[in-house]
Amino acid sequence: MIWLTSDLHLFHNHGFIYEPRGFSSIEEMNTAIESNWNEMVDEDDEVYVLGDLMVGGKAVSNDVGMEIVRRLKGKKHIIIGNHDTDARIKLYQQEASIVDVQYALMMRYKGRSLYLSHYPTFTSSLEHEKPKQWTINFFGHTHSKERFFEGIPFMYNVALDAHENRPVSLDEALREIKEYSAASTKA
């Protein structure tokens, strides 16, 4: 199975991150994220983390953050986000459970073109393309609870904030895009 997520912000010890997610502390948030992830993801699954896996000096200097990353199930692919410093990128590149680290990724899945990035990116047009012709952008960064960027059906937010602190399966995201697209074209 393929999973998508973004903006875990492990160890980002600021209330504006963990409080809107329903937690009273960063420790509570870190524990819930790890538990939710491991309840859903199997060891052989592919997980694409679209940026900002962990934030904060403690996560890097004490290798505490990487201890949690190692416990997260699945084969992890990291897309670099705005909080992924050179030091964090180096840690990701050295970690055996992380398959690759890159700035963005184009991929094909079930006949669809997908663009995975940290930032919302316009990848298609609603004017002349049919939904099957869209290049779908999966992104994070915004910390919005809204799944569709400004109501655009080919820009889908996979961040924890939009998915109850859980990864979303690629198949579920594509199903939701199809349903949203059908509903928005009828309106």
Residue bearing tokens 């679209």: 50
Question: 159 pLDDT exceeds 80?
Answer: yes
Q: What is the pLDDT of residues 41-79, one digit of tens each?
A: 999 999 999 999 998 766 665 577 889 999 999 999 999
* Cβ atoms 5, 167 nearer than 8 A: yes
In angstroms, the CA 146 to CA 129 distance is 24
12 or 126, greater pLDDT? 12
- Flag the least confident range among 20-29, 44-53, 55-64, 137-146: 55-64
Residues 13, 18, 24, 25, CA torsion sign: negative
Question: 147 pLDDT exceeds 60?
Answer: yes
* Cβ atoms 13, 56 nearer than 8 A: yes
Q: How far is CA 159 from the centre of its chain?
A: 5
Nearest alpha carbon to residue 138 among 124, 157, 122: 157
**Domains of the chain, start order:** 2-186 (3.60.21.10)
